[in-house]
Amino acid sequence: AWQGTQAVPADPILGLVAAFKADAAPRKVNLAQGAFRTDEGLPLVLPSVVEAERRVSSALASGAIDKEYLPIEGDATFRTLSAKLIFGDESAALAEGRCATLQTLSGTGAVSVAAAALCRMAGARTIHVPDPSWGNHGHIFRSAGLEVQNYAYLDHRTGTTLDFDGMRAALSGLPRGSVVLLHACAHNPTGIDPSGEQWQELAALFAGRGLVALFDSAYQGYASGDLDADAASVRAFEAAGVLPVACQSYAKSLGLYGERIGAVNFVCASREEAEAVLSTVKQTIVRPAYSSPPLHGARLAAEALAPSTASVSAPAGGSTPLSPRRQVLGDAALFAQWRGELRGMANRVHRMRVLLADALRAEGAPSPDGGDWGHVVDQIGMFAYTGLSASHVDSLRERRHVYLTRDGRMSMAAMKPADIEYVARAVRSVLAE
Ligand code: LMR
């Protein structure tokens, strides 16, 4: 059956992680993937998540909860809290019950379900994606049957700033009903976001031209350390009446990488429309693909995300949000602890940016944009978009065993202080070649 199958090249991000693991060099540095590391270079299980694990384990041991299947749409409490986290307390869509939220297999699963829904239910044929975007976006959209077109985002003249005029002009020229992907915050790979004012302008543009906004929110809390500030783009669109689709990942913000916890939210015109969208996505997209999402990570997330479960209203469709057999109640203290840990992670990444920029200047490495490496400090989220070319990146990997994606994206979240000088020296040497 498989004679005609040709091997394809490894994934541009995950393939590098495998190559790094196989690299036998005594000194090597993996800055290829967006995964948080401590100052010691180790993966971090958040203390708030450890506490959530403890509560869940004890509830399991006492028989208060079990390991039955979740419903197709996922855990009701998690869905409610997740929607509230991104749309906020003032959301009209949540107050009016017109947001259809499904728990998904992390951010990739959320974008995948959204893509399938846009293609099969909303008749979309094309999606407009920023140039550049996360390497997996194109694969997800094409495999859902959408044609992928780019719109201007990065200013290719500098390589390190936003081309807002180009972006606005490109989006203004799209036909009504066009679907546009936006990164809610901490754009991956560039680490460059529109300003608050520019988001307001985009929201008005989308409302005026009837564009469909698909937000990918994989880094809420990482851009500024503040969960609300990092959701301002999505909230501005909702307030402008755009009816956004918002995809969420808890891989980075809760450090639940391998638990595959995320959500997709379809803001609709009415409660009836939200019920119809939820039931159709459940029956025609999720059930045939994987039946229902994973339970354990949703419980952990629901623990940490619960500021005050009493104030949470039920999402469209599905069961009551707080079923005692499923849910160990979270509390305000754990939520506050998590927010503090998130700020700590965001601060650590920022500290690495400052240290690296200082080290590059001290080495006398010429910044590819002609500046003084200020962009490494100014960009936000997990990544620095260094401006290094693919051949610089290849040379860094082959000669210095420093791993970046070939677009010059460097994971500052994976950097440790002990590697700063080595990396700065390696960058200087490849720039001098
Ligand atoms: C990244 O961009 O490095 C992360 O989102 C991990 C991934 O799956 O690509």
Predicted confidence (pLDDT) per residue in 210-240, tens digit? 999 999 999 999 899 999 999 999 999 999 9
CATH code for 14-44+335-431?
A: 3.90.1150.10
Mean of pLDDT values over 278-297: 98
Residue 318: pLDDT above 80?
Answer: no
Q: How many CB atoms lie within 10 A of CB 120?
A: 15
Distance spanning both ends of the chain, measured CA to CA: 48
Mutate to test the pocket of ligand 1, among 33, 219, 411 (most ligand atoms within 8 A of CB): 33
Q: Catalytic pick from 75, 84, 134, 193?
A: 134
What class has domain 76-330? alpha beta
Residue 303: pLDDT band with limits 50, 70, 90: confident
Q: Which residues line ligand 1 (CB under 6 A)?
A: 13, 33-34, 134, 136, 188
Residue 251: pLDDT band with limits 50, 70, 90: very high
Residue 316: pLDDT band with limits 50, 70, 90: low
What percent of the chain stands above pLDDT 90?
88
Report the nearest atom of ligand 1 relative to the CA of 33. Answer: 3
What percent of the chain stands above pLDDT 70?
94
Mean of pLDDT values over 175-192: 97
Residue 341: pLDDT above 80?
Answer: yes
Are 102 and 281 spatial neighbours (Cβ–Cβ below 8 Å)? yes
Q: Which residues pair with 128 in a beta bridge?
A: 149, 180
Q: H or E element: which one contains 77? A: helix 76-87
pLDDT at 311: 40
As a whole number of angstroms, the distance between CA 102 and CA 104 comes to: 6
Where in the chain do CATH 3.90.1150.10 domains reside? 14-44+335-431
pLDDT at 330: 57
Are 365 and 424 spatial neighbours (Cβ–Cβ below 8 Å)? yes
CA 28–ligand 1 middle distance (angstroms) = 20
Q: Catalytic pick from 216, 230, 369, 407?
A: 216
pLDDT at 75: 94
The beta strands (E) that lie in 184-293 are given as 212-217, 245-249, 261-267
Number of DSSP helices (H) and strands (E) in the chain, helices first? 16, 13
As a whole number of angstroms, the distance between CA 313 and CA 271 comes to: 13
Q: H or E element: which one contains 105? A: strand 99-105
Tell me if residue 216 is catalytic: yes
Where in the chain do CATH 3.40.640.10 domains reside? 76-330
Q: Residues for the chain: how many in total?
A: 433
pLDDT at 317: 55
CA 192–ligand 1 middle distance (angstroms) = 17
pLDDT tens sequence across 382-399: 999 999 999 999 999 999
Residue 103: pLDDT above 80?
Answer: yes
Residue 319: pLDDT band with limits 50, 70, 90: very low
**pTM, whole model, 2 decimals?**
0.94
Residue 103, token pair as written in the block: 């728990």
pLDDT at 184: 98
Residue 327: pLDDT above 50?
Answer: no
431 phi, psi to nearest 5 deg: -70, -25
* DSSP-derived 3-state class of residue 297: helix
Q: Which of 192-196, 324-328, 362-366 has the weakest average pLDDT?
A: 324-328
Residue 348: pLDDT above 70?
Answer: yes
Residue 308: pLDDT above 50?
Answer: no
Residue 328: pLDDT band with limits 50, 70, 90: very low
User: Chain-wide mean pLDDT for the chain?
Assistant: 93
